[in-house]
Amino acid sequence: MRSVGVDDERKLHTASAATLDLSPVRNAVDDVSLRELAERAVEATRGFTRSYGFVEGGRLRSLDDTFLAAMELRTVADALGRSMDVGDDEELYLLSLLRGADDGERPAPEEVPESQRDSRGLAYANAVEAYRSDVRAYLDEHPDPDASEHLGRLDGHIRRIRAIQGDVPVDESESLVKTAREIGRYVAEGDETALATAASRLDGLD
């Protein structure tokens, strides 16, 4: 996290110029083992997800699909790379993520194998936590009690899901992401409807 600009014009800035290019990993699909492929996918996504930020020149951005997909690929690849028994469904899931994560493409909820719902849950909880942290930093400079209250409630659910290693229904993972996006929309744009929807989702998660 840093400020950009000069003197009293400095603006909060957490975003980086990092980009995600998975083509070298995709090109190796037919040449390496699944474990090696998974290790390469983890390496390709690690730097991108660690350096990513959501505040650019004082402007709060949304929680975008590319970051979500990259976080999911990193988590799934890490789990499958260490597994002794990877089934066809799990392998297809990894390949599906690898095929489109750098374009922000994510498997639909119904395409997530039951054995991997915890990977998606943990990935999304970690992604939402990264976003929540940047929103919190933004609110430190632009206080809003309503946003802070909802962000605090969101934090409780993030902690709970991370504590159980993401083992929640896929629909709950999706709801967590949607709630974070709605809070972000309210903070960035003043959209009262988005905040009300976030509150309703948080009630559903309680």
Residues of the domain holding 135: 2-205
Residues belonging to the chain: 206
Residue 1 pLDDT level (bands cut at 50, 70, 90) = very low
pTM of the full structure: 0.92
Residue 16 pLDDT level (bands cut at 50, 70, 90) = confident
- From the list 14, 16, 50, the residue with the least C-alpha distance to 136 is 14
pLDDT in tens, 102-125: 999 999 999 999 999 999 999 999
Instruction: Return the pLDDT at 10.
Output: 62
- Looking at the structure of the chain, the number of domains it has is 1
